[in-house]
Structure 1
Amino acid sequence: MRLSYLGIFHTVIGVVAIIAAFVSLIKNAKIDLGKLAGKIYFYCTLVASLTALGLSSIKGVNPGHILALFIVVLISAAYFLYWKKPGNNRPRFVENFFLSFSFFLSLIPTVNETFTRVPVGHPLANGPKDPLIAKTLLLLLLLFVVGSILQFRKQRKINRSPDFS
């Protein structure tokens, strides 16, 4: 199946967002909107989610569109918390969770589309219900849960530090 120009643009922007998220998570243990990688993640995810609304193999609204809109809500709320509630405080827990959750949700269609298209001619999976996709998403869910717990613990430590007062 060939990609449209919108599909190619969406894919490139989405890959940039995923790379930026990984860079931010590795460097900062969170997607930090105050750093370049976090800003790139935010803007590229916003564009990728909005362009996803124009992509569909079936007519009408589908679960992918709902997922894209939900991701926009999550990153927008995180952005609001970052700019309106500065500092290391309770809103950071929610901001961190929203950004990490948006990243996890972004990986769901990414895994599905990648595994059902690559390598060209002999894809790794036959469709969304393929066991390889399910196992990969389960692994990503476990990583998300563990990562969220670690982020929560790190943020709690930051909030309790004397420098925060």
Structure 2
Amino acid sequence: MFKKLIFTFLGFVLVSCSPETQPKPSGELRLEYPQPNYQAFSSPCNFTFEYSDFAKIENAKNACWYYIYYPKMKAKVFITYFPIKNDFALHVKESEKMVYEHTIKASSIDTKSFSYPERKVFGNFYELKGPTASNLQFFVTDSTRHYVTANLYFNSRPKPDSLAPAIEYIKKDMLHLIDTFQWK
């Protein structure tokens, strides 16, 4: 009986001396997207620009309205074209209304104006921070005849932390789009 007691005691000692189990550290999702190669898009609606080959351009409901679709990110940049007919101020006001409707959810809204007089390309680029429905928006105009707006939307709940890599990637693409934008 004494032998059984000693073997049991030694068994407990051997088992209890194993290293303590440690909880695994929480893993972070790492999203990597390919370096973009840009290709030209020419609209029959009097404008051209370059967009990433990581995206596809699809026609939207109306003529001169397009989606730049990022299938792996489940994101769309909705592009709309309007001819200006003595309603330039109305278009600018509507674009700003679309941006500032997000002030309820946005933690900040960064506005950057751009101007390329040699190409007659002017406008504003808006970056909305926080859990907003649209994180990036811009408008481009020649101030006399043409007006284009663009809004980024994801097919998911607005979670800024998890969407941040995709937003940054698309932001670079949208800024490249603006830099290469031209009227016909």
TM-score w.r.t. length of structure 1: 0.32
- The structure whose Rg is larger is 2
TM-score w.r.t. length of structure 2: 0.30
Q: Which has the higher helix share?
A: 1
Q: Which has the higher strand share?
A: 2
